[in-house]
Amino acid sequence: MEDAEHRYVAPGCTLCREGAKLVLFVTGRCDRDCWYCPLSAERKGVDRVFANDREVRTDEDLLAEARVMSALGTGVTGGDPLLAPERVARYCRLLKEAFGPDHQVHLYTGRAPTRAELLPLVGLVDELRLHPPHEDWARILETAYPEAIREARALGFAIGVEVPALPGVEGLAPLLPLVDFFNINELEWGEANADGMRERGLTLADRVGNAIAGARDWAAPLLDFERVRFCSSVFKDAVQLRGRMLRIARNTARPFDECTDDGTVVYGRLRPAGGVEPAIAALELEEDEYEVADDGLELAWWRLAEGRDTVEGEKAVVERYPNRGMIVEVTPL
């Protein structure tokens, strides 16, 4: 028997756990102003599109990002994606046409969507995740959300609630019999919501992560229900992000890159004092054993370590996120 954290997994979460879900941010616009909103200043209110961290300017940008991580599904997020419904439909159609109807799509919204809003998404979005406003939680049955859930179900969507762990989350319990799943995300401290957190006397759970002290206790009254799942901040970083990085590393690593269990790649970097060509000759590198990059010659870190006395120049071991992502560490050799 699984523990409360892992007992029930929504269909879209199964792929998320494997790091196989692309995150498609369709707009930073939102008609709400939640004090705990995690959106950064670069994204909040800004009408731009991102696939994971890549800005989408063309259809090919989106498809390339999906391919590089071998995405099996997409989570559509924002802002509120339903403020850009034509964009949502267009991108979801593009993804389903490119990767097949089984490419699973879930969509977050803060709205209680009407039948008219949902109809254009039939066949393009598989799963809906509703985020009712915090101020409505204690009177949720008097809001438009129960009707939205019934409409969504009648149209064939998998339907669930996804909210941050906040005091009063148990007020949403009357929705449990109506939904397929109910996800509670551990509230996270961020640059954008730090002032709101401080004003409410909230503090960090520990010195290493971003989780807020007390989040699990607020969720506790609901955790015994079968459909409820608590998604911890650590889980998101450790499992989801790592899984995605591993997939990207597998698809993009060069023959001489070493892939780590954390989803990073490690290689050697030489900035040769006497030019690239003499260094390649001195290290006796075959064609597929190096790459000339902007900042020098890149090769297997252990080849550089072995040959360190045969070439002059600045030598280092570089660890970074795959596909020339962020550099994590540079260790001089």
| Nearest approach, Cβ of residue 119 and ligand SF4 (Å) | 22
Query: How near is the Cβ of 212 to ligand SF4 at its closest, in Å?
Result: 15
Strand 73-78 relative to strand 290-293, pairing: unpaired
Half-sphere exposure of 185 (CA within 13 A, CB side): 18
Three-state SS for 238?
helix
CB nearer to ligand SF4: give 236 or 320: 236
Residue 160 makes CB contacts below 8 A (sequence gap 6+) with 10, 127, 128, 129, 130, 179, 180, 181, 182, 183, 227
Residue recorded with tokens 């254009």: 120
Please identify, using beta-carbon distances, which residue of 44 and 67 lies nearer to ligand SF4. 44
Residues lying near ligand SF4 in the complex (CB under 6 A) are found at 30, 32-34, 37, 39, 78-80, 110, 131
CA-CA distance, 146 to 173, in Å (whole number)?
12
CB of 43 to ligand SF4, least distance (A): 9
CB of 325 to ligand SF4, least distance (A): 25
Closer residue to ligand SF4, CB minimum distance, 34 or 316: 34
Q: Which is nearer to ligand SF4, 80 or 180 (CB)?
A: 80
With H, G, I as helix, E, B as strand and everything else as coil, classify residue 97.
helix
Q: How far is the CB of 111 from ligand SF4 (least distance, A)?
A: 9
CB nearer to ligand SF4: give 190 or 313: 190
Q: Are 135 and 117 in contact (CB under 8 A)?
A: no
CA angle 52, 55, 59 (to 5 degrees): 95
